[in-house]
Structure 1
Amino acid sequence: MASTVFSLDDTPVNQRFSHFREVVESFYIPIGLECEHPERFNAWVTGSELGEVSVGTCFLAEQRVSRKPEHIARSEDDRIKLILPLSGAIASHQDGNDVVVRRGEFYITDPTRPYEEQILEDLTFIYLLLPRNHVVSKIDQIEKVTATSFACEQPYARLASDFAHSLSAVGPALEGSKAVQAASVVTDLFTMVLWEHMSQVRTHSTVYRSTLFRRAKAFIDEHLTEPDLSLAKVAAAMGVSSRYLSDLFSEAAFNYRPYVLEQRLLRCAQNLTDPRLAYLAIAEIALQCGFSDNAHFSRAFKAAYGISPREYRACHKI
């Protein structure tokens, strides 16, 4: 399969960065480049085209990369970029995610949305351009995994990174169906790593939300007697926003206000029939159960039990 070789060795040092900036789009996509020390800049690229996948090894000196809407507007290549450092360090920002990646890790960027990168230390790396349609068909929220570090020590990630190392070396020798098959395998391997990460995130999120719901409900039950109990107070105690808690309750089909009213009325009904509390006025019992408005309590009680609190107490006298 065709092999790409690019080097600045024959370019005068003072022209290397400007020349690289002119030709970089031919290797990937339109991007903005800045370099604080162009006099020290250098770069080289070797790579192969294997069906829909590009794979190779690259060296880049320190620089800043930006992918802006105007770059995206004139792009045709939407393949997912995967960077697997061999030496040096690179920082990436996309979709609200920030990461610094070194040897033993990898990360991806999605060229259909803006991103920024900064090579912090001269970087040698393996790169892969993976077919976006294949990856996003398996990863429904790819923005959750962009600019995110994946450690190559994890089983699936190690398998994928080892294959990428081998593929970058033997890629130029692969042709025809062998190249296409190799491209399919490497795409599937790294997609599997991303999928596993998303699965773990969803599991963690589900466990967290389930635990938070139980904690919030226990807090409500414990503080039912407080007239000023509110959704905002519960949310503050849980360390989340009222909107987040409201969404959590909706997800669990839990209606906060009806539940609080029902539980307070149940406690009132129990206390009204408790002979040990016969000396307490009905208004006092209502107050102890969280009702600060006696008229509201009476209306709510009658709506729930069909009779007034006084009648209920009289019916249950021993």
Structure 2
Amino acid sequence: MTQVTSDRRTGVSGPVAFSTVGLPEEQRVELWESHNADALIGLRCRTLTAPVLEATEINVQLDRIHLARVRGSSHVVERDLTMIRQRPAESVALFFNLAGEAFFYHDDGVRTVQPGQMLLCDADRPFMRGFSQGLEELVLKVPRDVFADVTGIDRLARPLVMSFAAGANSFAHALARQVGAAARDQDPDPAEEETLLELVAALAGRRRVDGLSGAHRAAALTFIDQHLADPALSAVQVAAAVGISTRHLSRVLAEAGTSVPKHILGRRLETARRLLEKPAATSMTIAEVAHHCGFTSAAHFSTAFTTHFGERASDVRRRAVAARAIPLQ
């Protein structure tokens, strides 16, 4: 089953979803292989303990690079020399493991990839991957010439595994979040290809500060979102996490028309508003909401909220309480 969506905000064609669920059981593996060969990377597939394959893939094709989100029951995939000759990918692949331990067998050895780890490899060198506990991952496919252009790496000597969990590599973490936000079936975010490529360049080890403003900004904003509840969050802390100076951090955010304090305040207020609007969260007091979002003073929060949104936090809470009180028909 294939479904094409479009972004109502831009009118641009959005994610394309394919699923084996509902297809004839005896044809699922064949159709899954055919879909992947056309949409992502050609692979041979076989199931393990599951009697039939249940798999879903969401694909987003940008100008030069391809994004995907893949979920599936336990299975093994293989890309051998015959498949590579028949279906050359001519790309570098980044697999971000979200759930379930996976193994990766390659002529360089065997690697185990845990949730929160990313595997970077040349898609045209033979490999086998296995998912005994099922699969949930994000994929970024970058043409080899584009990868070489942005990273300066003409050939990947061996596969690389690195963590993209919060607190590890800030560029890998920001990249995973951006790919995940774009490759989802519900309200996907438009992907910025240049920023994604800058993040790839940064995590691949390119050290030049110039030309990586988008990567630094994305990593900084991701770090801020992950630490909004910390009242001590500061430009010094954000810059240290990204590995740049506070001066450069100020410059890259100024290019986007904001600053560290302004962005932190705005994100805290937006997060607080969403929380106040949730009927299920009405048990929290407004002061508790403020504290949860990193405000140390309820009075400061109330003033900033009214200034930013043009209405009081208590008014937003009152509507949420009223919505919760409406009986279901």
User: Please, what TM-score do these two structures have when normalized by structure 1?
Assistant: 0.53
Higher relative helix content: 1
- SS of the equivalent of 2:21 reads coil
Aligned counterpart, 1:143: 156
Q: Structure 1 unaligned runs (5+)?
A: 198-318
Structure 2 CA distance for partners of 1:9 and 1:27, relative to 1, 3 Å: same
Once residues 55 and 21 of structure 2 are traced to their aligned partners in structure 1, the CA distance between those partners, rounded to angstroms, is: 9
- Please tell me whether the aligned partners of residues 48 and 172 of structure 1 are also in contact (alpha carbons under 8 angstroms): no
Give 1:96 shift: 0.4
Q: Structure 2 unaligned runs (5+)?
A: 1-12, 208-329
Structure 2 CA distance for partners of 1:173 and 1:151, relative to 1, 3 Å: closer
Give 1:80 shift: 1.6
Once residues 163 and 44 of structure 1 are traced to their aligned partners in structure 2, the CA distance between those partners, rounded to angstroms, is: 20
> How well do the aligned residues superpose, as a CA RMSD in angstroms?
2.6
2:36 to 10, 13, 24: 24
- Please tell me whether the aligned partners of residues 66 and 115 of structure 1 are also in contact (alpha carbons under 8 angstroms): yes
- Counterparts of residues 257-272 of structure 1 (less than 5 Å): none
Aligned counterpart, 1:121: 133
- Counterparts of residues 84-233 of structure 1 (less than 5 Å): 84-137=96-149, 138-140=151-153, 142-146=155-159, 148-152=160-164, 153-169=168-184, 174=190, 182-195=192-205
Name which structure has the greater RCO, CA cutoff 8 Å, separation 6+. Answer: 1
Once residues 87 and 26 of structure 2 are traced to their aligned partners in structure 1, the CA distance between those partners, rounded to angstroms, is: 29
- SS of the equivalent of 1:143 reads coil
State percent identity of aligned pairs: 15
Structure 2 CA distance for partners of 1:39 and 1:22, relative to 1, 3 Å: farther
Once residues 12 and 74 of structure 1 are traced to their aligned partners in structure 2, the CA distance between those partners, rounded to angstroms, is: 26
Give 1:189 shift: 0.5
Aligned counterpart, 1:78: 90
Once residues 188 and 106 of structure 1 are traced to their aligned partners in structure 2, the CA distance between those partners, rounded to angstroms, is: 17
Once residues 54 and 141 of structure 1 are traced to their aligned partners in structure 2, the CA distance between those partners, rounded to angstroms, is: 19
Give 1:171 shift: 8.8
Task: Report which of the two structures shows the higher radius of gyration computed on alpha carbons.
Answer: 1
Once residues 162 and 172 of structure 1 are traced to their aligned partners in structure 2, the CA distance between those partners, rounded to angstroms, is: 12
- Kindly provide the amino acid, as one letter, of the partner of residue 176 in structure 2: S
User: Please, what TM-score do these two structures have when normalized by structure 2?
Assistant: 0.52
- SS of the equivalent of 2:204 reads helix
Once residues 142 and 162 of structure 1 are traced to their aligned partners in structure 2, the CA distance between those partners, rounded to angstroms, is: 26
- Please tell me whether the aligned partners of residues 7 and 45 of structure 1 are also in contact (alpha carbons under 8 angstroms): yes
Once residues 52 and 129 of structure 1 are traced to their aligned partners in structure 2, the CA distance between those partners, rounded to angstroms, is: 9
- Kindly provide the amino acid, as one letter, of the partner of residue 9 in structure 1: V
